[in-house]
């Protein structure tokens, strides 16, 4: 646990300051001065043996429930009482927890849909249910307070999530909720400029990692609606996020943090600084690692898999089948490097007068294309694959990560045509496109389809003129969304695209309803088809 303590201590020291936040749509940039000290106390450190007892003792079916609880009394006081009482004959751990903590509710699970509403009307009616107003600081809570309103995904996901929010915003654009989009961008800027990056979500237990860096695409989305001044407003935050991902770029050999040195230049990997069980999945990680006598490397690979957003997928497994062989930090992912190419592209728009920085960005963008062509492109199969920089070979896993270079227009026409053919022949199913071709029981593998990957695929194909295939995918995805809505009254987190009569499965928790990114992509695709 000492690693966690050091990480949070460093964050705490780096975020102290006397600050005032000034954000308005007319600002040329954002200036951040914080009035409060960001004092993050990791709950597993604070509660020690009580935390371990609760998580391994399965007091709650879902490990995330306990870390989202709000302590009614100071952690030190609760821990002291636990130590005094734990060995008494009538001690009941669950009763103790319920007496000392407030248990959170799931978001939207009890929302009653109106059967007379269309699916689109239902989604629009859910925005207020999924909306959270600005947060006040709450003692004993793991929530990192945000200054402006935001949308949460729903279900067990009671906080804002980084990459989810881009796809949610696609629907907010269709609902003309531009102010709410800007509020969410202000929140992400606040996180970047206080914590140093956008965490997985606004919880203290997420700060050791980020998620796929879609912030630049969110800024681009709002700029398309409100003009190029938006780029100037968020330029400082965008640059600081870039420096977070590029911290370690001076490495000459091997890897450091998110950076990997290659003959083509610096590229990026997913990398969580923690090397202990995830607090929100403590039992799952602990048992997984103990089962195979794994160690700190395996914990970090599990955490880094969570940073990828694809938690979990055969993409990260050495044998392409079993999570016990996870090796996330050994892999240079296609999607991450395409996303950072997209961030560099937006930074070029933000810093038009900074010749030296623009040259650095241009060089990096060219290096990324060279890397993908040299190491990720499989000319025999006609697909992009992730690259294992340790083994110096492609992973051999076909996944929808292959569409990201098409989304960001990094592929040649020949490459794009080949990817389109692979998608049509192998990935297209009755309900949309499947995530991978591997059946591992993990939620980011077959037979599941996910809203964000439908969108990335459709736009990527559209960029290269594959309009009919793009429309077919869109129509099939909209159809499965509407079918599940008719049958259940809900939009859910993921769908079984191979059997439209079955729910999506796999993962560490049941299928969640709400659901932010499914709602957003549905509205955007309805508009696209119309």
Give the active site residues. 311, 493
Strand ranges (DSSP E) for 57-145? 70-71, 101-102, 131-132
The rounded distance, in Å, linking the Cα atoms of 203 and 339 is 24
Q: What is the spatial distance between Cα 2 and Cα 8, in angstroms, rounded to a whole number?
A: 10
Paired strand residues for 255 = 260
Phi, psi of 495 (to 5 degrees): -135, 150
* Of residues 181, 115, 187, 127, the one with CA closest to residue 153: 127
What b-and-e string marks burial along 192-227, b requiring 16 or more CB atoms within 10 Å of the CB?
bbbbbbbbbbbbbbbbbbbbbbbbbbbbbbbbeeee
Helices 43-56 and 2-14, axial angle in degrees (round to 10): 140
Whole-number Å distance between alpha carbons of 126 and 516: 9
8 Å CB contact between 394 and 387: yes
**Over the Cα atoms of the chain, what is R_g?**
22
DSSP structural state of residue 139:
T
Residue 187, judged by CB atoms within 10 A of its CB (0-12, 13-18, 19+), counts as buried
Query: Is there a contact between 215 and 334 (Cβ–Cβ < 8 Å)?
Result: no
Name the helix (H) or strand (E) containing 252: none
**What is the rounded distance in angstroms from the CA atom of residue 225 to the CA atom of residue 221?**
7
Residue 176 burial (10 A CB sphere; 0-12, 13-18, 19+): exposed
Contacts (Cβ under 8 Å, ≥6 apart) of 378: 384, 385, 394
Return the residue matching tokens 């391994």: 56
- Residue in 139, 173, 169, 178 with CA at minimum distance from that of residue 151: 169
């Amino acid at each position: 646990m000492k690693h966690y303590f050091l990480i949070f201590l460093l964050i705490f020291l780096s975020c102290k300051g006397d600050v005032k936040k000034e954000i308005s749509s007319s600002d040329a940039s954002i200036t951040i001065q914080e009035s409060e000290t960001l004092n993050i106390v990791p709950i597993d450190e604070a509660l020690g043996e009580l935390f371990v007892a609760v998580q391994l003792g399965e007091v709650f079916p879902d490990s995330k429930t306990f870390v989202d609880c709000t302590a009614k009394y100071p952690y030190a006081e609760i821990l002291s009482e636990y130590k005094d009482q734990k060995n008494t004959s009538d001690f009941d751990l669950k009763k103790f927890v319920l007496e000392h903590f407030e248990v959170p509710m799931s978001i939207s699970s009890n929302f009653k849909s109106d059967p007379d509403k269309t699916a689109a009307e239902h989604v629009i009616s859910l925005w207020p249910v999924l909306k959270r107003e600005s947060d006040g600081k709450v003692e004993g809570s793991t929530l990192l307070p945000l200054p402006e309103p935001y949308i949460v995904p729903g279900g067990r996901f009671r906080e804002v999530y980084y990459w989810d929010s881009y796809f949610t915003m696609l629907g907010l654009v269709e609902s003309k909720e531009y102010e709410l989009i800007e509020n969410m961008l202000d929140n992400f800027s606040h996180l970047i400029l206080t914590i140093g990056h956008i965490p997985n979500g606004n919880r203290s237990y997420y700060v050791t990692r980020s998620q796929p860096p879609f912030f630049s695409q969110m800024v681009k989305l709002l700029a398309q609606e409100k003009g190029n001044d938006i780029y100037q407003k968020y330029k400082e935050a965008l640059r600081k996020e870039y420096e977070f991902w590029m911290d370690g770029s001076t490495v000459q050999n091997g890897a450091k943090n998110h950076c990997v040195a290659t003959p083509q230049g610096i590229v990026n990997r997913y990398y969580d600084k923690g090397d202990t069980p995830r607090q929100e999945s403590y039992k799952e990680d602990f048992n997984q690692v103990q089962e195979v006598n794994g160690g700190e490397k395996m914990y970090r690979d599990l955490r880094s898999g969570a940073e990828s957003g694809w938690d979990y997928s055969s993409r990260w497994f050495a044998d392409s089948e079993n999570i016990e062989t996870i090796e996330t930090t050994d892999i240079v992912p296609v999607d991450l490097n395409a996303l950072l190419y997209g961030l560099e592209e937006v930074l070029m728009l933000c810093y038009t007068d900074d010749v030296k920085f623009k040259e650095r960005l241009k060089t990096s963008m060219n290096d990324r294309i060279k890397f993908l062509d040299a190491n990720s492109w499989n000319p025999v199969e006609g697909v992009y694959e992730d690259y294992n920089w340790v083994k110096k070979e492609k992973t051999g896993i076909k996944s929808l990560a292959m569409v990201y270079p098409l989304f960001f227009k990094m592929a040649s026409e020949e490459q794009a045509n080949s990817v389109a053919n692979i998608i049509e022949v192998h990935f297209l199913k009755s309900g949309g496109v499947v995530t991978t071709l591997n059946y591992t029981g993990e939620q980011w593998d077959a037979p599941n389809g996910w809203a964000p990957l439908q969108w990335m695929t459709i736009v990527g194909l559209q960029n290269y003129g594959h309009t009919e295939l793009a429309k077919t995918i869109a129509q099939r995805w909209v159809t499965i969304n509407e079918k599940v809505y008719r049958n259940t009254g809900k939009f859910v987190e993921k769908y079984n695209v191979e059997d439209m009569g079955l729910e999506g499965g796999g993962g560490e928790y049941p299928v969640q309803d709400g659901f932010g990114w499914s709602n957003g992509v549905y509205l955007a695709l309805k508009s696209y088809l119309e």
